[in-house]
Chains A and B, each alone.
Chain A
């Protein structure tokens, strides 16, 4: 008994439980979901989703409170603000993506209980990755996120495309995280056996093995650029996005990118600051090629999800400019602001695609023709989100891009910002193409109209009206956020400013 008391007191002094309280709440939610499903034996599955939403909301509330208190004290724990902001982003992503996936999972008649389980575990992996400070935690949480996303993308087992997407995702993600791990092993070796990131920096700063440190930087870049889907490592993105079920694509298109952004920034800022000339050039090249490639190929796509995959490749190219342009007074404000806006734009678009594919079962862009006649709410909100993605004022995508490119220009990245501006204009073309298709009448309106009505009656008989509104709630939330957060960008910038470390 004495041993337990002393052990617990030592534990309390070393680990501050209040800092990982959001993750603990998510774990408690996870265990509750598993136990509830076992007890209920598969009935009443909506309750599981409510548990998930409640636990995510509580976790967000606590994290928000911690964020506010840290900022209010004006402590110099800038590292903390950066990590907590990313954890908050990932919680928002999980929350909204589960809101928009409830209908889809109910309709497709696959097992319901494991879906929120995998989503919680992927969200947990992302949150721990955002505040990890040693190599072991980074690797394990990265693999946690990747394997949960892998299971999620293969969720519809009967669909062969989903299985194919999942296999491709697993093999490629395994190869790239092994590349990251090889870089970590070189770092571990040449820093006298240190595993914590802070200790590694001290040891390798004046090391004589500079070429090997550069090699390890190259391997780490390859590993993280896969998750971010930068140019030569982007091959998995269109296939996985097209094959996986749509709400799953919504989830890991934002969550794994946000988590990978925090990992990338932290690794390259902390460990390789004196190599910053070298990796700046390489990342600039990667960003330029991603922007060009993503936007040019997205013009030719016929499937909506694939087009969104290529457009997300180019969006990450823009965000890379924000990482390169970080300086002392503004920190990573431009990258964080654009990530925040990007989450809502992307999730909003995917919410509407989910609703549309529930009603018509198709993913082709041509089938969106004349949508204005059948469903003006869906059309209008999709127009808002697509225009925000393209960067049209006064929506928030414009303000995010403006801030990003202005910072890039001030930091001297003239080529990148010019290429980004040109490719933004190209991207407006393919967003406007869809909007024009939706808003104009079609030549043969009969066929698609008939299938639209038929599916709608099938769907509304299966789901109760209470749940039908959850996708719409997600839709409206994202539409509002992607329109208004541009106008209210000043407080967001003020919060994200103090993040240079």
Chain B
């Protein structure tokens, strides 16, 4: 039916996951997390286009956008707190808690 659109949103989610796993900077990891959530929002909108009552998917997308904003705010607050102590935001320097 609409495989191309679903493939597009899945591609966005995969790119976001790749960025989250392989980024060395904390802010970049947070951006990839936003990208994952945007891919999922696209998924919802694609599905909601297909039905007669579109409210479910579109309202859910608004909620996801809000939660993603809250999560980004949380992440940046923690990154700021780490930056104040360590003067850097590299993720691979978080190695105090091991095994």
Contacts and interface: CB of A to CB of B under 8 A. Distances in A.
Contacts of B82: 160, 163-164, 167
Interface stretch (A29-37, A178-186, A357-365, A381-389): A178-186
Nearest to B96: A161
A327 interface: no
A175 B20 contact: yes
B94 A167 contact: yes
Contacts of B97: 161, 164-165, 168, 238-239, 242-243
A21 to B, nearest CB: 24
Contacts, number: 112
Among A166, A174, A188, A192: residue with most chain B CB under 10 A: A174
Contacts of A160: 82, 85-86, 96
Is the interface on chain A under 10, 10 to 19, 20 to 34, or 35 or more residues?
Answer: 35 or more
Contacts of A178: 13, 16, 33, 36-37, 40
Interface string A124-156: 000000000001100110010001001100100
B63 A195 contact: no
B75 A170 contact: yes
A163 B81 contact: yes
Contacts of A165: 97
A194 B56 CA distance: 7
Contact of B33 (A139, A161, A174): A174
A198 to B, nearest CB: 14
A193 B57 contact: yes
Contact of A171 (B29, B40, B46, B64): B29
Contacts of A135: 60
Interface residues of B, number: 45
A186 B40 CA distance: 10
Q: Which of A136, A163, A194 has the most CB of B within 10 A?
A: A163
B15 interface: no
A158 interface: yes
A242 B33 CA distance: 25
Contacts of A182: 13, 40, 43
A136 B26 contact: no
A189 interface: yes
Contacts of B20: 171, 175
A185 B85 contact: no
Interface in B72-86: 74-75, 77-79, 81-82, 84-86
Interface in B81-99: 81-82, 84-86, 91, 94, 96-99
Contacts of B44: 185, 188
B4 to A, nearest CB: 15
B64 to A, nearest CB: 7
20 contacts: A140-B63, A147-B74, A150-B74, A154-B81, A157-B84, A158-B85, A163-B78, A163-B85, A167-B78, A167-B91, A170-B71, A170-B75, A171-B75, A178-B37, A181-B40, A188-B47, A188-B56, A188-B57, A193-B53, A243-B97
CB-based closest 4 A-B pairs: A189-B47, A193-B51, A239-B97, A185-B43
Given A170-B75, A178-B16, A188-B56, 13 more contacts: A136-B59, A165-B97, A171-B75, A174-B75, A175-B33, A175-B36, A178-B33, A178-B36, A178-B37, A185-B44, A185-B47, A188-B57, A189-B47
Interface of A: 135-136, 139-140, 143, 147, 150-151, 154, 157-158, 160-161, 163-168, 170-171, 174-175, 178, 181-182, 185-186, 188-189, 192-195, 238-239, 242-243
